[in-house]
Amino acid sequence: MARRAVRTGTFVGIAGLTVFALAACGGTGGGGGDAVDSFSAFINVENDAAQATLTALAEGACTSENEALPLEIETVPQTNLDQQLQLRAGQGALPVLYSAGNAPALTKTLAESGNVADFEEILTGLDAIDDVQPAAVSTIEALYGGFNALPLEYNIEGIWYNKAYFEDFGIAVPETWDELVDAAATLQENDITAFSASGEQGWPLTRLIGNYLFRSIGPDALQAVADGEAELTDPEYVEAAQAVADLGAAGYFGQGVGSITDDVATNQFLNGSAGMFYMGSWALSDFADVEQNQIGYDNIGFMPFPNVEGGAGDSSQIAANVGLPITMNARSVDENTEAWLSCIAENWGTTALTEANRVSGFVVNEPVSDTPALTQEVQDRIADSEQAVLWFEALFSTAATTTSQTNAAPLVSGSITAEEFMSLVQADLD
């Protein structure tokens, strides 16, 4: 009898411990109102401007909010961001603020599962909705299926070039793709790397493919792929990948493009090793860094991605986006986090411009004097832009985005053909 009791007790004990351990491993599993003891922000490490602006707000305009709920920034490499978000969301361990995933599809998924705050509702409730520029909201809604992210940046993308090299080598600012290729050839003849680009990140290369498609097929080129009306393996799409692969084959990206990181690519342009640099206007903060920028701020020019002869698109359709925005955990919304959010909405526009030379989608509530000429040009181009286009992977799934960006370097180094590249990405879209 006693032995049976011991055996039963042992069994119940083991079962209880198992259930306890499994429950502990299972995360919170949902429900609202997780206790928030810090204003935790999980930001991709490359986005140093967001980190700097948040820190500046915590020490300046949002001091009282920071005292009530201290800011804690944690960083993650952008290439690991999607993995981390999925793991943390699965464990119910998302922080208060976090960088939206590389693929907008991930943010949509997180929103559908109740992990993303509805900023339309919250900012309206806080009477702060007017602090956000409507154009930025509309860009976010187009990408993320709702006002699911904060436009901490509002960027245009294009090709930044070294004015002195263009003058010295007699290069006119290219208006067509062929002129761009000629400019690259001239730079290379003069021992200057034509394009500085990070193959390690991949996206600076696939941006070229996307822009070529927007110029050759038109601004709806990738919407047609997302809608299933066209495939990336169609000849007119492969042509874009081939055009970029040809740049690589000619050596215009320099040696070892697959090993070049984001920082190295920026440095190559800013130390004069490279003559052109496709990047978003978030790079303005790097350009303004006098220690990093050895070629001079005034020596940098901007050109939109050029036209492709006979193409349906044109260079007035500028690539615009909100960078890699930051979103908020819906389960963390409470009085303190709302106070922080209200303060961010009111002050981000001004602080980002003064602290990080960054144009954002927030209204600049306090006029900023002495805006640098290049920054002013970006602001003017944003204001003048009548139609914006997105980027190559904007409408792709997470898997297709990863495939595209990891195979960009092999494409330009000649390890895979343009057809193979497009087939690999299309396979993940099917």
Partner 1 sequence: MNPLLGDRRSTMILVGPALLVYSLVMLVPVVWSLGYTFFEGNAIVGFSFVGLQNFGDLLGDTKVHDALWFTLKYALVITIGQVAIGYLLSLLYVFVLRRSSSIVRTLVFFPVVLPTVAVGLLFQQLFAIAPQNGLVNSFLNVFGAESVDWFGDGASAFLVIAIMDIWRSMGFYGVLLYAGLVDIPEEVLESARMDGATGWKLVRSIVVPLSAPVLVSALIFSINGTLKVFDSVLALTNGGPGTSTSPLTILMFQTSFTNGQYGYGSSIALLLTMICLVVTVFIFRASRRDLTKG
List of residues contacting partner 1 (CB under 8 A):
3, 6, 10, 14, 17-18, 21-22, 27, 79, 82-83, 86-87, 89-91, 106, 109-110, 112-113, 115, 254-260, 264, 267-268, 397-399, 402, 406-407, 409-410, 413, 415-416, 424, 427
99 vs 402, beta carbon nearer partner 1: 402
Min CB(255)–partner 1 separation in Å: 5
The pair of three-digit structure tokens given for residue 234, joined into one six-digit string:
């169609």
Cα–Cα distance measured from residue 83 to residue 76, given in angstroms and rounded to the nearest whole number: 10
Judged by beta carbon, residue 283 or residue 409, the one nearer partner 1 is 409
In the complex with partner 1, the residue whose CB is nearer, 257 or 364, is 257
Where on the phi/psi map is residue 111: left (φ > 0), alpha (ψ -120 to 50), or beta?
alpha
Strands (E), 86-244: 97-99, 155-162, 193-196
Determine the Cα–Cα distance for residues 102 and 396; give it in Å rounded to an integer. Answer: 10
Task: Tell the smallest beta-carbon distance from residue 68 to partner 1 (Å).
Answer: 30
The two tokens of residue 69 are: 């709920």
- Report the nearest approach of partner 1 to the CB of residue 367 (Å): 40
Nearer to partner 1, 274 or 318 (CB): 274
* Dihedral angle computed from the Cα positions of residues 47, 50, 51 and 54, in that order, rounded to the nearest 10 degrees: -170
Distance in Å, CB of 323 to partner 1, minimum = 21
Q: How far is the CA of 292 from the CAs of 261, 264, 373, in angstroms?
A: 16, 11, 19
Structure tokens at 231: 């495939």
The SS3 assignment for 258 reads helix
Report residue 303: phi and psi, to 5°.
-130, 140
Three-state DSSP string of 165-199: HHHHCCCCCCCEHHHHHHHHHHHHHCCCEEEECCC
Is residue 273 helix, strand or coil? coil
Residue among 79 and 176 whose Cβ is closer to partner 1: 79
Token representation of residue 20: 């306890």
Q: From the CB of 268, what's the least distance to partner 1, in Å?
A: 7
The nearest distance, CB 59 to partner 1, in angstroms, is 34
Helix (H, G, I), strand (E, B) or coil at 317: coil
Contact assessment for residue 322 and residue 136, using Cβ atoms and an 8 Å cutoff: yes
Rounded least distance, CB 18 to partner 1, Å: 7
Nearer to partner 1, 376 or 415 (CB): 415
In whole angstroms, give the CA distance from residue 343 to residue 382: 25
**Smaller CB distance to partner 1: residue 38 or 80?**
80
Quick one: CA dihedral 77, 248, 271, 176, positive or negative? negative
Of 280, 281, 283, the closest CA to residue 263 belongs to 283
Nearer to partner 1, 62 or 408 (CB): 408
Distance of CA 157 to the CA centre of its chain: 11
Closer CB to partner 1, 327 or 398, in the complex: 398
Closest approach, Cβ 258 to partner 1, in A, equals 5
Task: Say how far apart CA 430 and CA 426 lie, in whole Å.
Answer: 6
Q: Residue 147 CB, nearest distance to partner 1 (Å)?
A: 20
Instruction: Give the shortest CB-96-to-partner 1 separation in angstroms.
Output: 18
If the CB atoms of residues 19 and 312 are measured against partner 1, the closer one turns out to be 19
